């Protein structure tokens, strides 16, 4: 064909380089934080409302994921061009250098100001990750929590969604009322056992 281009591609997915550029723009131009801030505002309003009508015998708790919920791994992801190398990931977590996601830190502060417990529920698992997480949360000003639930040897559920659902049930069995569950993955929130759920955007990766 003279003067033309022959090729396929109308049904092909978006080019990977273009997809990465779009993700960077979404984050770097401020839309990502604005979207998170909107979810955080909804969560804060609910926590304040629910805390105001707590009964004396209720043990209220706000349940929060860690990665891309209260701590941002964006510096590490960009440095790796959005690739995932397990050994490099563990080194990053050990550094305890992930910045706080500010709107979500305000959700945490709201809960603690109202004397509502905070529990972090994360897929981080290794001893190195545990140490790095504790230190990172302390540095980020979120060290006053009820507990962190890491992924452990007894977590045999086939998916993150099922593992986290089981952990929420266990908290309820201990007498806690989970008034809000916050996460960036559908798997953080699936399966109920929370009065309200709040889903943050995550254009970077997906955990089933």
The per-residue pLDDT for range 9-56, each reduced to its tens digit, is 667 888 999 999 999 999 999 999 999 999 999 999 999 999 999 999
The Cα–Cα gap between 9 and 208 comes to: 29
Q: What pLDDT is recorded for position 14? A: 87
182, 64 Cβ separation under 8 angstroms: yes
Q: Between β-strands 147-149 and 117-121, what pairing exists: parallel, antiparallel or unpaired?
A: parallel
49: its two tokens: 């409302």
- Tell which CATH classification among 3.40.50.1820, 3.40.50.1000, 3.30.390.50, 3.40.50.280 matches the domain 16-199: 3.40.50.1000
pLDDT of residue 9: 63
Q: What is the pLDDT of residue 6?
A: 67
pLDDT digits (tens, 9 = 90+) for 116-159: 999 999 999 999 999 999 999 999 999 999 999 999 998 999 99
């Amino acid at each position: 064909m003279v003067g033309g281009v022959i090729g396929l591609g109308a049904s092909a997915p978006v080019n990977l380089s273009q997809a990465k550029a779009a993700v960077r723009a979404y984050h770097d131009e401020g839309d990502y934080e604005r979207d998170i801030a909107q979810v955080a505002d909804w969560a804060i309003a609910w926590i304040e409302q629910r805390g105001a009508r707590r009964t004396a015998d209720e043990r209220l708790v706000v349940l929060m994921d860690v990665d891309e919920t209260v701590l941002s791994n964006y510096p590490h992801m960009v440095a790796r061009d959005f690739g995932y190398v397990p050994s490099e990931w563990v080194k990053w977590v050990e550094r305890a250098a992930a910045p706080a996601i500010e709107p979500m830190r305000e959700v945490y502060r709201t809960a603690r100001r109202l004397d509502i417990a905070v529990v972090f529920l994360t897929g981080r698992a290794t001893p190195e990750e545990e140490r790095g997480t504790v230190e990172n949360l302390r540095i980020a000003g979120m060290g006053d929590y009820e507990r962190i639930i890491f992924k452990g040897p007894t977590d045999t559920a086939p998916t993150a969604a099922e593992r986290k659902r089981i952990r929420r049930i266990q908290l309820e069995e201990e007498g806690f009322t989970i008034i809000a569950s916050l996460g960036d993955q559908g798997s953080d929130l699936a399966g109920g056992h929370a009065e309200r759920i709040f889903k943050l955007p995550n254009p970077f990766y997906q955990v089933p």
